[in-house]
Amino acid sequence: MRIVTKSRGGRVESWLLGLTVLALSGPACLAQQVSRPEMPAWTPYLLTALLLAVLAVARWRVRRLLISERQGVLAVRRRLHELEQANAELEKTNDQLRHYAEHDGLTGLWNHRVILDRLRQEVDRSKRERTPISVIMVDLDLFKNVNDSFGHQVGDRVLKEVATILQRSVRSYDWVGRYGGEEFLLILPTSGFSGARLRAEQLRLAIESARILNGLSGDAEAIVPVTASFGISSGFPLNPEELIRRADNALYRAKDNGRNCVIAMEL
């Protein structure tokens, strides 16, 4: 760039001034002439591919997490099912053990310990509610002859048959237990003297008329003759021992009177 004036001296000064201005404005002019670098054409495709790869990895990880969670839920459900089955088996076993501990193994009736516990409870109820209570002692007559004549297997069958007769002939809230050997004990809550005596007579007739076979044949000669004696104690007792003692005394009197009969004592 050159600036020219008319005078010689002025021409030189103007030329120097022009160089100075060019020196100062040169870099700015050069910067305006430099253009920005252009983005390669394949760059968008690369960015898209990277984004798709990231999304694919994220989707794969989410799927793995869902599968893992589903497997965990299934494992928990399977374990809960196994625990429920084990708990059911345990409850079943406990029920069986409780049954064996409370019931007579042959007849299925309440055993000696439990029937006396029930008697104590019912006597307490009788005193609390001021209601009568009756007990019936049942003893099979000449049961030793049954074992000696027909064998102990037939004797066991007789005990089971008599237990069934007693159980199905009482009320739902009465108690029937095997007192020991061929003796049975019945507890009749709220039953007075006359009601207990009537029930004992019905039981006596049912046992006497029972057709219990010895297992050898079905003819009349194979029927095992069975009778029972009954002792009753009824009233408002002070304690269970009093009921048992009086019923036992009545039972001995029934034996002395020829067996197969009912003797009742009122408190």
Domain boundaries defined on the chain:
39-102, 112-266
- pLDDT digit string, tens, across residues 52-110: 888 888 888 888 888 888 888 888 888 888 888 888 888 888 888 888 899 999 999 99
- Its sign, for the CA torsion 6, 7, 11, 13, is negative
Q: Dig out the tokens for 127 from the structure.
A: 């005193």
Burial call 205-236: b when 16+ CB within 10 Å, e when fewer: eebeebebebeeeeeeeeebebebbbbbbbbe
How many helices (H) does the chain have, and how many strands (E)?
A: 7, 7
Assign domain 112-266 to its CATH superfamily: Reverse transcriptase/Diguanylate cyclase domain (3.30.70.270)
SS3 state of residue 77: helix
SS3 state of residue 262: strand
- pLDDT digit string, tens, across residues 151-163: 999 999 999 999 9
In this predicted structure, which of 22-36, 130-144, 212-226 has the lowest mean pLDDT? Answer: 22-36
Task: Categorize the per-residue pLDDT at 220 as very low, low, confident or very high, splitting at 50, 70 and 90.
Answer: low
Residue 30 has pLDDT above 70, yes or no: no
Q: Please tell me the predicted confidence (pLDDT) of residue 15.
A: 47
Taking phi over 0 as left and psi of -120 to 50 as alpha, with beta for the rest, 177 belongs to beta
What is the pairing mode between strands 175-180 and 183-189? antiparallel
Closest CA to 225 of 166, 167, 146: 146
Q: Dig out the tokens for 165 from the structure.
A: 């007769």
SS3 state of residue 239: coil
Helix (H) or strand (E) holding 205: helix 193-208
- pLDDT digit string, tens, across residues 1-16: 444 444 444 554 554 4
Q: Please tell me the predicted confidence (pLDDT) of residue 123.
A: 97
In this predicted structure, which of 19-23, 73-77, 107-111, 219-223 has the lowest mean pLDDT? Answer: 19-23
How far apart CA 165 and CA 34 sit, in angstroms, is 120
Instruction: State the amino acid at position 15 in one-letter form.
Output: W
Task: Categorize the per-residue pLDDT at 222 as very low, low, confident or very high, splitting at 50, 70 and 90.
Answer: confident
SS3 state of residue 184: strand
Answer whether 158's CB lies under 8 Å from 140's CB: yes
Known catalytic residues are: 182
Most confident segment among 26-35, 55-64, 139-148 = 139-148
Q: Please tell me the predicted confidence (pLDDT) of residue 52.
A: 84
CA atoms within 13 A on the CB side of 225: 6
Residue 195 has pLDDT above 70, yes or no: yes
Answer whether 204's CB lies under 8 Å from 230's CB: yes
Task: Categorize the per-residue pLDDT at 143 as very low, low, confident or very high, splitting at 50, 70 and 90.
Answer: very high
Tell me how far apart the terminal alpha carbons of the chain are, to the nearest angstrom: 149
How far apart CA 146 and CA 191 sit, in angstroms, is 33
How far apart CA 188 and CA 195 sit, in angstroms, is 9
Answer whether 146's CB lies under 8 Å from 226's CB: yes
